Amino acid sequence: MGSMLMRLLATAALLFTCAACEDQVQPLGAPPSTERSDGAAGDEACKVDKVRGLSESCCESYGVDACGAGLFCAAFDGRSVATCYPNNVRVAGETCGADQHCLSKTCGPKQACAATPSEACEPDWGCAPVGRDRYVCVEKRCRAVAEGYCETDGDCESGYVCRRASCRDPATAKYAGESCSDQSVPSECLTGSCFKGSCQCSKETDAGCPDGKHCKGGTHVVWGTRCE
């Protein structure tokens, strides 16, 4: 009788213990929990591990720990979920967030990768430097500042001015209406524009623009100082 009573008490205790922990037991066959307990709780994008692999989803808020070595975490190209990309994979004109994202190792101020000298370029992207040599985008090609090309007057030698990406000497450069060679690089014209053998007026104020025939667009402002 006593032995039977002891067995009943033991069974009751076991049932009580299982009932208390039932909510914590994961059903057989259920996938493992992905909930994080390292400060990312509540962030849906962070229900993944750190140090993710190439092309795996990742959490940008982990910073450098989001992906493995040589990878970065971002949601480019219309993605709604961040993915691990290899460093230096984004080509000229593609969206970037840091220099390490770009093949050229230069992410421009408009969040687009700058072009390398071997790539086609656009002014909005710019051109990446090579060592200490700077380049500027001229007619979709990256040209070296050391060869007389420029973005601002500061790229030119003292006394020279930057006109349409070329450093010009105001004392010797040709003005609108003067003859020029269309093949001359950099342009012989102060404005940097030679069209059909004649220096053209720029859209900026240019006192050397005498009449409409010198305007590439054919429209001349009455007071004779600029083209439109």
Predicted confidence (pLDDT) per residue in 179-214, tens digit: 888 777 667 777 677 778 877 776 555 555 655 555
Instruction: Decide if 193 is inside a domain.
Output: yes
Say how many domains are in the chain. 1
Domain hosting residue 177, numbered range: 158-228
pLDDT tens readout for residues 45-69: 588 999 999 999 999 999 999 999 9
What is the mean predicted confidence (pLDDT) over 166-177? 73
The answer to whether residue 28 scores a pLDDT higher than 50 is: no
Mean pLDDT of the chain: 76
Residue 179 contacts residue 197 (beta carbons within 8 Å): yes
Beta strands in 87-206 (DSSP E): 135-138, 141-144, 161-163, 166-168, 194-195, 198-199
Residues 13 and 6 sit within 8 Å (Cβ to Cβ)? no
Distance of CA 185 to the CA centre of its chain: 30
User: Residue 222: inside a domain, yes or no?
Assistant: yes
Q: Can you count the helices (H) and strands (E) in the chain?
A: 1, 8
Element holding 74 (H helix, E strand): strand 71-74
Q: 80 in a domain, yes or no?
A: no
Residue 175 pLDDT > 60: yes
Rounded Cα distance, 121 and 119, in Å: 6
pLDDT over 50 (residue 156):
yes
**Domain-embedded: residue 101:** no
pLDDT of 92 over the 80 cut:
yes
Tell me the residue type at 26. Answer: Q
Q: Is residue 224 a part of any domain in this protein? A: yes
Q: Which residue has the higher pLDDT, 117 or 194?
A: 117
DSSP notation for 77-108? TT-SS-EEEETT-B-TTSB-SSGGGBTTS-B-
User: Which comes out higher in pLDDT, residue 166 or 106?
Assistant: 106
Average pLDDT over residues 172-176: 71
- Please determine, for residue 108, whether its predicted confidence score (pLDDT) is greater than 80: yes
Q: How many Cα atoms are found within 13 Å in the side-chain-facing hemisphere of 72?
A: 14
User: Considering the entire predicted model, what is its pTM?
Assistant: 0.58
Residue 10 lies in a domain: no
126 within domain boundaries: no
Output the pLDDT for position 103.
96
Q: Which residue has the higher pLDDT, 138 or 112?
A: 112
Residue 214 maps to a domain: yes
What pLDDT, on the 0 to 100 scale, is given for residue 49? 93
